[in-house]
């Protein structure tokens, strides 16, 4: 009998252990076969509630550090579901509420209020992933070591399954987000192609409106763009008109915002006004971190709130449209620039035709001239006109300003001179008439510095008038230097009141006359130093024995060398006359 009675408990213990192992294996098989977190919670609770004969059960999961959310309840109010609680200092063991120091763990008060007496931590990889609470029918006693081990094993299996389920759920969420992002990128790619195929701004705006309405589902909107430093509404469909004050506020928005959710002080001022006209979301359209436009949208047709992803998508879509608008503007500007350049090339050819194609041969003299414009067209002028076999007009002028306006006035001067010279009047009278005609046909602020003379090639006498131009150098072979400065006022400033004075000089053999515009004497180097008139004189003196074209070439080379590290700022015009007999 003794032997029989001693062996029976041993068999029963072995049988219970086998049952526990079978139960653990079955539990592990069931929970690990499922990826549904809710199913795992439910099965875990029911299993332990059955083992503990508990009428209450609760499972909380750590969603953020020290923050636990109720995931499942049995025998408790479902109002607890998804509520969050902050727990700190959680021991990695079974917790019996009636045996713990509540001062050290004040969070136990929550479990006590729920009627929970036993708390079991869910541990995976030595980290508490959650807590389970029960009210066992033996709540006043500690569980047996065997039952504690069994429950700990069940809890650990559940913790691993829960962590795996959370990872799979998170991975699935990431995949869904990735799929959505890929879909959005494909949509943006297709829309980007459509935007880039359109060059008309109005069509681009309509395409943006249709894209927003189709992708997000709205029927209230406003699209604004910055023009001339001010935000302007280019298209809108709202309950009320956007006023000027809002247009001043819009450029200050640097990130997408929801009107009703913004708490920033500067936004609160406008919230009610925006809400009243039907605007719920504002999306700035930016280039180089500057707000160049704005997309204002009303409520979504399905009644849903705008999500962060909606705002990101709308921001990308709006910026695509803005870039396309900017590209279209640059394209139009490039075409317009090319058109203007083509017209300037034509104007340059016309202007070249106004200057002498070839200089006439002057008996007893050599003559050379050069004109280099700082732009495609310029305002410098020179001319050599053959009046008779022994009489030649030599002229040089500089119109104020540069570019097209100066070139037009230069053409006017050339036409005037060509029309008046054949009249056979004196230089003084001719200059007076030229001045009066220029004054009548130009606006205030435009003028011409001008020098001209009539050369008698047989007597070598040059009669001249200087109308405010840089006085030419007459360098004699014997070293004497004259500046030809007699004349009168600049052309075009005012009607002639005081007659122009004629000067007269004789060019003996070897003498050189150098006429130039201020683009020669005032040519700047990299440190803003002018070439200067003295340098023109020195270069001429150093090559006095050379032909006229060599003298001119040396002066031009000196100007280019002096200003080689800078851009040409003014037209360069020279006329060199040398007496050779």
CATH number of the structural domain spanning residue 84? 3.30.450.40
Q: Kindly state whether residue 134 falls inside one of the protein's structural domains.
A: yes
For residue 71, give the nearest of 55, 84, 85, 82 by alpha carbon. 82
> 390 and 296 in one domain?
no
Hey, which bits of 267-332 come out as E strands? 281-287, 290-297
Q: Which DSSP category does 92 fall into?
A: S
> 375 and 302 in one domain?
no
- Per the CB < 8 A criterion, the answer to whether 298 and 279 are in contact is yes
Number of domains in the chain: 3
> 108 and 33 in one domain?
yes
Chain centroid to Cα 72, Å, comes to: 52
Structure tokens given for 63: 């969603």
> What is the end-to-end Cα distance of the chain in Å, rounded?
161
* Interacting residues of 538 by C-beta distance below 8 A, sequence separation 6+: none
> 261 and 298 in one domain?
yes
Structure tokens given for 513: 């006359």
Query: What torsion do the CA atoms of 167, 168, 173, 177 make, to the nearest 10 degrees?
Result: 100
pLDDT of 485 = 95
Structure tokens given for 97: 């509420």
Burial class from Cβ neighbours inside 10 Å (0-12, 13-18, 19+) for residue 262 reads middle
What element of type H or E holds 57? strand 57-64
Domain interval for residue 401: 355-579
pLDDT of 350 = 65
| Cα–Cα dist 380/439, whole Å | 18
CA 267, 268, 270, 274 dihedral sign is: positive
pTM recorded for the entire structure: 0.52
Q: Which DSSP category does 75 fall into?
A: S
Q: Kindly state whether residue 291 falls inside one of the protein's structural domains.
A: yes
> 310 and 359 in one domain?
no
CA angle in degrees (0–180, nearest 5) for 160-166-169? 140
Q: Kindly state whether residue 5 falls inside one of the protein's structural domains.
A: no
> 370 and 278 in one domain?
no
> 535 and 571 in one domain?
yes
Q: Could you please report the per-residue DSSP string of 142-210?
A: PPPHHHHHHHHHHHHHHHHHHHHHHHHHHHHHHHHHHHHHHHHHHHHHHHHHHHHT---HHHHHHHHHH
Q: Kindly state whether residue 6 falls inside one of the protein's structural domains.
A: no
- Per the CB < 8 A criterion, the answer to whether 191 and 183 are in contact is no
CA angle in degrees (0–180, nearest 5) for 86-35-161? 55
pLDDT of 387 = 92
* Interacting residues of 375 by C-beta distance below 8 A, sequence separation 6+: 344, 402, 403
Q: Kindly state whether residue 8 falls inside one of the protein's structural domains.
A: no
**How many CA atoms, within 13 angstroms, populate the side-chain half-sphere of residue 257?**
18
Q: What are phi and psi of 203, to 5 degrees?
A: -65, -35
| Cα–Cα dist 273/291, whole Å | 21
Q: What are phi and psi of 238, to 5 degrees?
A: -135, 170
pLDDT of 183 = 67
> 70 and 219 in one domain?
no
Q: Kindly state whether residue 211 falls inside one of the protein's structural domains.
A: yes
Single out the residue in 169, 190, 213 at which a domain terminates: 169
Hey, which bits of 390-511 come out as E strands? 391-399, 448-456, 461-467, 473-475, 481-483, 487-488, 503-506
Q: Which CATH number belongs to the domain containing residue 513 in this structure?
A: 3.60.40.10
> 228 and 141 in one domain?
no
Q: Kindly state whether residue 26 falls inside one of the protein's structural domains.
A: yes
pLDDT of 376 = 58
What element of type H or E holds 91? none
* Interacting residues of 40 by C-beta distance below 8 A, sequence separation 6+: 31, 34, 158, 161, 162, 165
> 548 and 451 in one domain?
yes
| Cα–Cα dist 468/398, whole Å | 10
Query: How confident is the prediction along the chain (581 residues), in pLDDT tens digits per residue?
Result: 334 444 455 555 555 555 567 777 777 787 777 778 888 888 888 888 988 889 999 999 998 899 999 999 999 999 999 999 999 889 999 999 988 888 889 999 999 999 999 999 998 888 899 999 999 886 556 778 888 888 888 888 888 888 887 788 778 777 776 776 666 666 666 666 776 766 677 787 887 777 777 778 888 888 888 887 788 888 888 878 888 888 888 888 888 888 877 766 667 778 888 888 888 888 888 888 888 888 888 888 888 888 888 888 788 877 877 787 778 778 888 888 888 777 667 666 666 767 888 999 999 999 999 988 776 556 788 999 999 999 999 999 998 877 677 777 888 888 889 889 988 899 999 999 999 998 888 776 789 999 999 999 999 999 999 999 999 999 999 999 999 999 999 998 899 999 999 999 999 999 999 999 998 999 999 888 999 999 999 999 999 999 999 999 999 999 999 988 787 778 889 999 999 98
> 293 and 401 in one domain?
no
> 508 and 400 in one domain?
yes
| Cα–Cα dist 415/433, whole Å | 13
Q: Kindly state whether residue 175 falls inside one of the protein's structural domains.
A: no
């Amino acid at each position: 009998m003794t032997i029989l009675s001693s062996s029976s408990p041993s068999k029963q213990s072995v049988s219970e252990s086998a049952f526990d192992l079978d139960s653990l294996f079955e539990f592990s098989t069931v929970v690990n076969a499922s990826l549904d977190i809710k199913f795992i919670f439910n099965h875990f609770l029911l299993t332990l509630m059955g083992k503990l004969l508990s009428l209450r059960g609760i499972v909380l999961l750590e969603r953020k550090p020290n923050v636990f959310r109720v995931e499942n309840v049995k025998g408790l109010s479902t109002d607890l579901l998804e509520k969050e609680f902050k727990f700190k200092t959680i021991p990695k063991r079974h917790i019996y509420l009636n045996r713990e120091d509540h001062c050290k763990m004040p969070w136990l008060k929550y479990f006590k209020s729920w009627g929970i007496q036993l708390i079991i931590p869910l541990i995976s990889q030595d980290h508490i992933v959650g807590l389970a609470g029960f009210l066992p029918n033996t709540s006043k006693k500690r569980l047996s070591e065997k039952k504690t081990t069994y429950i700990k094993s069940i809890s650990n299996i559940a913790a691993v399954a829960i962590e795996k389920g959370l990872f799979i759920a998170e991975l699935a969420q990431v995949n869904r987000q990735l799929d959505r992002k890929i879909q959005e990128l494909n949509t943006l790619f297709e829309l980007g192609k459509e935007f880039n195929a359109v060059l008309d701004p109005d069509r681009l705006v309509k395409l943006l409106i249709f894209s927003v309405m189709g992708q997000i589902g709205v029927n209230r909107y406003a699209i604004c763009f910055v023009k001339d430093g001010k935000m302007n509404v280019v298209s809108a469909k709202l309950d009320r008109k956007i006023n000027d004050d809002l247009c001043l506020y819009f450029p200050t928005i640097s990130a997408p915002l929801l009107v009703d959710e913004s708490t920033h002080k500067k936004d609160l001022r406008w919230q009610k006004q925006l809400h009243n006209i039907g605007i719920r979301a504002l999306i700035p359209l930016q280039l180089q971190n500057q707000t160049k436009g704005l997309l204002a949208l009303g409520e979504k047709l399905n009644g849903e709130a705008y999500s962060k992803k909606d705002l990101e998508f709308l921001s990308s879509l709006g910026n695509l449209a803005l870039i396309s608008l900017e590209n279209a503007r640059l394209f139009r500007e490039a075409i317009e620039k090319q058109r203007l350049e083509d017209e300037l090339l034509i104007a340059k050819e016309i202007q070249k035709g106004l200057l002498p194609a070839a200089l006439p041969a002057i008996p007893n003299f050599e003559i050379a001239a050069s004109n280099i414009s700082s732009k495609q067209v310029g305002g410098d002028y020179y001319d050599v006109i053959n009046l008779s076999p022994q009489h030649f007009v030599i002229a040089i002028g500089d119109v104020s300003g540069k570019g097209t306006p100066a070139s037009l006035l230069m053409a006017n001067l050339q036409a005037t001179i060509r029309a008046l010279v054949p009249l056979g009047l004196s230089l003084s009278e001719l200059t007076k008439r030229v001045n009066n005609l220029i004054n009548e046909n130009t606006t205030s602020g435009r003028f011409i510095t001008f020098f001209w003379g009539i050369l008698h090639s047989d007597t070598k006498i040059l009669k001249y008038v200087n109308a405010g131009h840089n006085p030419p150098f007459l360098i004699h072979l014997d070293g004497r230097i004259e500046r030809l400065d007699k004349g009168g006022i600049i052309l075009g400033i005012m009607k002639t009141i005081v007659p122009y004075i004629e000067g007269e000089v004789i060019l003996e053999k070897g003498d050189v006359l150098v006429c130039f515009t201020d683009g020669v004497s005032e040519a700047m180097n990299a440190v803003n130093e002018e070439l200067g008139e003295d340098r023109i004189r020195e270069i001429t003196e150093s090559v006095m024995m050379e032909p006229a074209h060599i003298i001119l070439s040396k002066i031009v080379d000196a100007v280019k060398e002096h200003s080689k590290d800078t851009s040409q700022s003014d037209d360069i015009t020279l006329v060199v006359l040398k007496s050779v007999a």
